[in-house]
Structures are given as C-alpha cells and as structure tokens.
Amino acid sequence: MTLNETLSRLKGQGVKITPQRLEILKVLLDEERYYSAEEILKKVQERYPAVSFDTVYRTLYLLKRLGLVIELNFQGGYRRFEFNHEDKHHHHLVCLKCGLSRKLSCCPTGCLLTIKKEHPEFAITGHSFEIYGYCEDCQEDGND
C-alpha cells in the first residue's frame, strides 16, 4: 500500500492526519520489517525532536485497531510493529537480530481445520505462526 492510499483510507475513517502520524507512517512504510516502539520514536525524532512515546504508542495502537499495523510478540517479551501492506492475513519469517521480516506464502490452514474439528467447544479468535532465525547479514556477525 502506498502512503497516499493509506492516508485517504485514514481520512475515510475520520482519523486526523497530524505531522507526527504522517512521519510514523513514513517510517513504517519505508522498510518491510518489524520495528520496536523505540526505533520508531528515534526515527520520527530525527524530524520532530519533540515527539513523545505517548504519541508513538497511541498511533501504533490506533493503526493496529484499524488493521494497518501488525504487532508481534518476540521471545523475551519484546513487542514489535510492522505495517500490514496487504489486507489479507499472512505470516512472517523474522530475523531475531535486526527485525527484518519476509512475508510467507503459506498459512497452516490444514492444521486449523483439523483443530476446529477436534475442539468444537473452543471459540477460536486467531492464531500466530511465525518462523524465527537469522537473516543472511546477521548470521555473519556473532549472533547471541
């Protein structure tokens, strides 16, 4: 999705476009990877030094509620955020070091169907499927 498409979609939902929100969106759209809240803050502060964490978190959760951002909970309790370029749901291959993510072509739907049959009493609301490892660049540095 382009920045303009995103903006008009936001306007359509009655969301105000502030310079801070615009900058956060630019950061998210710039690179296809998971960002920590702090990374986003730092990048936005390069242009708007006064931006606060509050704004970053509020904007991220706003975008998440609207389906434009995906949140991932890494092992160790680290949360990261990525722009949801497509509308349809998909999974990721994620680098544990730099946060780079690659979209995956497959989704374990077969498993899901089996599970729904096996546990009809359970109200399933969602699932996670992420593959972790180290990308080409991060394998070279010692990864700990």
Partner DNA sequence: AATTACATCGGAATAATTACGATCTAGGAG
Partner DNA sequence: CTCCTAGATCGTAATTATTCCGATGTAATT
Binding site for a second copy (CB under 8 A): 71, 73-77, 79, 93, 95-96, 102, 104-108, 110-112, 114-115, 118-119, 121-136, 139
Report what 52 binds from DNA, a second copy, none; CB cut-off 5-8 Å by kind. DNA
3-class DSSP assignment, residue 70: strand
Give the C-alpha distances (Å, rounded to integers) separating 36 from 27, 31, 88, 95. 12, 13, 23, 13
H helix or E strand, kind and range, residue 118: helix 109-118
- Which of residues 21 and 91 has its CB atom nearest to a second copy in the complex? 91
Q: Does 48 bind DNA (CB under 7 A)?
A: yes
- Which of residues 38 and 137 has its CB atom nearest to DNA in the complex? 38
- Which of residues 46 and 113 has its CB atom nearest to DNA in the complex? 46
Nearest distance from residue 15's CB to DNA, in Å? 6
Nearest distance from residue 48's CB to DNA, in Å? 6
Report what 125 binds from DNA, a second copy, none; CB cut-off 5-8 Å by kind. a second copy
Report what 114 binds from a second copy, DNA, none; CB cut-off 5-8 Å by kind. a second copy
Q: How far apart are CA 53 and CA 135, in angstroms?
A: 29
Give the C-alpha distances (Å, rounded to integers) separating 27 from 33, 36, 113, 128. 10, 12, 37, 25
Residue identified by tokens 């030094």 is: 49
H helix or E strand, kind and range, residue 62: helix 53-65
